[in-house]
Structures are given as C-alpha cells and as structure tokens.
Structure 1
Amino acid sequence: MVGTSSTSFTQKVEQQNNARHFQSFPIRRRGESGDQPTALVLCDAMGLGTGDMTGLTLHDVLAVIKGHSPEGHKFSSDQALRAETVGYVKKPSAREKMHCVAFVVDATKINSYGKGMGFTFQQLREHISDLGVHQVALLTHVDQLCPQSAHDITKVYRSRLVQHTMEKAAALLGMSMSYIVPVKNYSCEMDVDEHTNTLLLCAVQHILQYVELYFQDLTEPRVV
C-alpha cells in the first residue's frame, strides 16, 4: 500500500510505540503454469527522517542492510534494533542481506531537502559502500515536473527540467548522474501502461546489474 503523507507512508502506527514495519516482497512472474517465483525480492522500510519521530535512524538502516532485521520487525523511535531484539538475526545469510540499496527521492520535493538531509544521505552512502553494497536512486513522480513528460512519458530523458532535477538529486545524494533513474508512479491509472512499465523495468534492470556486481565482488579472488 502506498499513499501521500508529510512523512513516510510505509509504517503501521500503533498507539503506544509508533512502530514501523520492515517487509519483504518476493517478485513472481506469470507463466503458463501459473505464478512462478523469481530470485528478486524487494525489501521495503520507511525512509530516513530529519528527527527521531519522522524516519529510520542511520543505525537501523545499516542493520537492515546487513540482514539483522527480522521479517515484520517493528521499528520504534525509542528503541534501536540490537542483538537483544526479538528475532534479531545474529549471523545473516546471503539471502537475508541486502545486495543493492535503492534510495527513493520524490522529484517534486527535491528543493525541500535541506543540507542536513544531504549530509545524512552522504554519510549513509559511505557506510553502505564500506559494506560493498552498490546503490542507485529512483527519482519518482518525474511526470509531474513538466507537461511534456506528463503527456508523453517516453520523452522523459529529453526534458531539460527532468535532467536538471536529476542533477539536483545526484548532488543531494553525492552520486554520479548515471546512478539516478527516473520513474513514473502509477497513481490514477486503472490499467498498466507499457511506457510506464518500461521505465520501471529499466530501474529493476539497473538494480540487478549492481546486484550482480555485488556477487562478483564476493567471488572474485583478491590480489594481495
């Protein structure tokens, strides 16, 4: 489920501890014999925040990436994920670790991110890089930036406004522009659209390329 909110919508708020749940979504493909599982699993957690009550802390994000977070874990603003947490994965397997991190940045709010958030992003990216995990950024809602892209999403890479926003996202995250992937969100559509899907599938392909690099780095012999 998705929605609009001033803070992350990926949360299940309880009256007492304002908990946020971590959830994984195995991706399946439809075949002749029904839905078939794939190796792709998307893991969703609420985003970073500028304060204790508005998002995950740096500590909890890194714990998720390292694979310590149990499925369905409730993130609490007053209690960090640690070894004493119920269900804590002490020795994560390759299946439980994250193999690529995708930052999701709203193109329409790029100017609202302050310097503090930019510092947090770049600090987090340094820690993730130390883990050997590659990173990309999904620039969402690009169709809302300019009328041309809204009318014909196939022209998204020709839009100067989208290009300029990608540059801003790259500067915010401390990334090269080649890591910024524009996508259009489904919002009011009742049916799927092939051009919208093309952007989304390109994003998935981009992610999988870095997943492959992650495993290559693990298996290739090191020169001493």
Structure 2
Amino acid sequence: MGVGSSDMPPDPPEPYFSKSWRNVTENYPRDLDFVKSYQPQNKDVKHLRILLHGPVGSGKSSFINSVETVLKGRVTCRASTDANSGSSFTQKYTAYKIRKDPDSFYSVIFNDIMGSEQNTKTGVDVEEVKLAMRGHVSDGYKFNPVAQLQETDRDYKSSPTLEDRVHVLVCVIPAGSVSLISKEVVKKLRKVRKAAAEMGIPQLAILTKVDEACPEAENDINETYRIKYLKEQVDQFSMLLGISSNCIFLVKNYHSETNTNDDINVLILSALKQMICFGEDFLNNL
C-alpha cells in the first residue's frame, strides 16, 4: 500500500466558526449596568419574577447562584445544589431575591422549581408548573408528584397579584444533553411551554455546562459563541422545543471556581439581560 496523499487520513473538521455567531463580549459593561439599575416600569410590581424549569440536574439552582455571584462580585452558593442526586434536589418552590445593599434588593426574583423527570410519579407535575406561573403557589410549598396542590390547601394562593405571577419562563438544559432528553421529558416541557404561551408569558432557554459539553469551551470559555458544536446544540434544541434560536443562550455556571471570571460573567449577563427585557415587555403590554 502506498504512502501517497490519498492514503492519509482526512484532517479533522475545524471546530470553530471564523467569527462569533453572537457577539456578547463588547456588551459586558453595559449589560452589568443595565441589570444592576433595572426597575420595572409597571407600578403594580416591585420585582420581575423569572421561573426556571427543566430536567433534573440541568443547573437551575446553579444559575441562580451564578447570577448572584455576578451581581455581588464574589462566588455565592445560596441555592442548594447536588451533583450526585439522581432525582430532583430542589423539593420546594423557592423564591430568591438578591440583596443589593443592607436596605434593598435587586428588582429580579428567581423562582426555583422541582425538576422534570421521565417517570410520571416523580419530578414536578406539569399542572403545578401551570399553577406556579399563574401565581397560585406560595413560596416554600413542598412538591408532591402524586398529590397536586389543591385550592383548599394552605399553600394555594386563591387571589394572586401581578407580583405573584411569573413574568418570564426560562427552560434550562445542559448543552451536552440536548440529544439525550427523553421523549417523556420533552413532552412535559412542551406542555409547560404551550401553557405559558396561552398566558402570554415570554420564554427563553439557557444551555448550561458548556465547558462540560465540549473541550473547546473548557479550554477557553471566551470562544463559546464560535464553537460549531454548541451552535448545533442550540439549533437542535430550538427544533426540539420550538423556541427560536435567538432566545436560547449558552452559559457556564459557577461550579468549581472560587473567584469571579469576566468571561463567565459575560455569558450569564447576556442571558439575564434578555430575560429582563422580555419580562419588562410582558409587564408593559398588560
């Protein structure tokens, strides 16, 4: 067998686009200022409420911690996480406010919810997600997958205010798990998405753990929006759930870091700013 060029293995495909398909770096200082100074224009609410939902282990609680880390300028971990849990570690409907100073909070509230699971008897029930979006679920309510919250229960809010309602719905999925999501979980996520659409609630998605999804992002997180594999995951998830690709953001949550990193912050702030903009539009259109 010869050793000519025809016998040589082909070069591996280039993993990067020639330029970023979404430019987020140059907006970093403005995005940070925007988030820190944001106040809802609608006088009926003091806080914009963002509900995070998605499969077990997708990084919902970690994203809340990461946002708080960015705003406080130091690593925090107030929302409990568990990398070893095979089921949802979040058991209660929990609202997280981020303190700005001793006397005030930032104008965004994150609600963490039990993760969706393949089994119909485990994970959060779709009907309870709907109740949460309408504002009927009290902070601290403990989810029970086999016993849905009833109007007669203590944790049921019979007359929710606009402040109690969800203003933005965000689906959270690990970037490397898009092709692994079961049909059952996809069905649940789409039911939630349809319900939110009927309520007029804007929707976005974040693909987390980009550094675990591919070695290029792990090597240089600043190249996230140049990596072809990650763009493919965005497009695939867009087709899977029906969310437009320009409403899907790539994120690396703070996990092993002990100090803040501007390249990580850039990705988090880009997603957060769009959540706020969509929520503000929702409140202003009421």
Smaller-chain TM-score bracket:
0.7 to 0.9
Question: What residue ranges of structure 2 are gaps of 5+ in the alignment?
Answer: 1-79
Amino acid at match of 1:26: K
CA distance in 2, matches of 1:54, 1:197: 34
Structure 2 partner of 1:7: 87
Conservation of the 8 A alpha-carbon contact between 2:114 and 2:143: no
Structure 2 partner of 1:82: 150
CA 1:77 to 1:117, structure 2 compared with 1: closer, same or farther past 3 Å?
A: closer
1:22-75 CA-to-partner distances (Å, cap 9, x unmatched) read: 100012235xxx563121111111122222343111100000111100110011
SS at match of 1:138: strand
Correspondence 1:71-110 to 2 at 5 A: 71-110=139-178
Conservation of the 8 A alpha-carbon contact between 1:136 and 1:179: yes
Structure 2 partner of 1:126: 194
CA distance in 2, matches of 1:94, 1:167: 34
SS at match of 1:75: coil
SS at match of 1:64: helix
Superposition RMSD in Å: 1.5
CA distance in 2, matches of 1:2, 1:180: 23
CA distance in 2, matches of 1:133, 1:149: 32
- Give the Å deviation of 1:134: 0.5
Structure 2 partner of 1:17: none
CA distance in 1, matches of 2:271, 2:103: 22
Question: What residue ranges of structure 1 are gaps of 5+ in the alignment?
Answer: 11-19, 219-224
CA distance in 2, matches of 1:28, 1:98: 20
- Give the Å deviation of 1:125: 0.9
Aligned to 1:24, which of 95, 107, 123? 95
CA distance in 1, matches of 2:131, 2:246: 27
Conservation of the 8 A alpha-carbon contact between 1:105 and 1:169: no
Aligned to 1:47, which of 90, 104, 115? 115
CA distance in 1, matches of 2:270, 2:185: 27
1:112 maps to 2:180: yes
1:58 maps to 2:126: yes
Structure 2 partner of 1:178: 246
SS at match of 2:159: coil
1:200 maps to 2:262: no
CA 1:87 to 1:119, structure 2 compared with 1: closer, same or farther past 3 Å?
A: closer
Amino acid at match of 1:75: F
1:177-197 CA-to-partner distances (Å, cap 9, x unmatched) read: 111111002111111111101
Aligned to 1:152, which of 220, 226, 229? 220
Larger radius of gyration: 2
Aligned to 2:229, which of 161, 164, 170? 161
Conservation of the 8 A alpha-carbon contact between 2:118 and 2:182: no
Structure 1 partner of 2:12: none
Amino acid at match of 1:70: S
Percent of aligned positions with the same letter in both sequences? 27
SS at match of 1:40: strand
TM-score (structure 1 length as normaliser) = 0.87
CA distance in 1, matches of 2:285, 2:209: 33
Q: How many pairs align?
A: 206
Amino acid at match of 1:3: D
- Give the Å deviation of 1:123: 2.2
- Give the Å deviation of 1:145: 1.9
Conservation of the 8 A alpha-carbon contact between 1:49 and 1:57: no
Greater strand fraction, Structure 1 or Structure 2: 1
1:216 maps to 2:284: yes
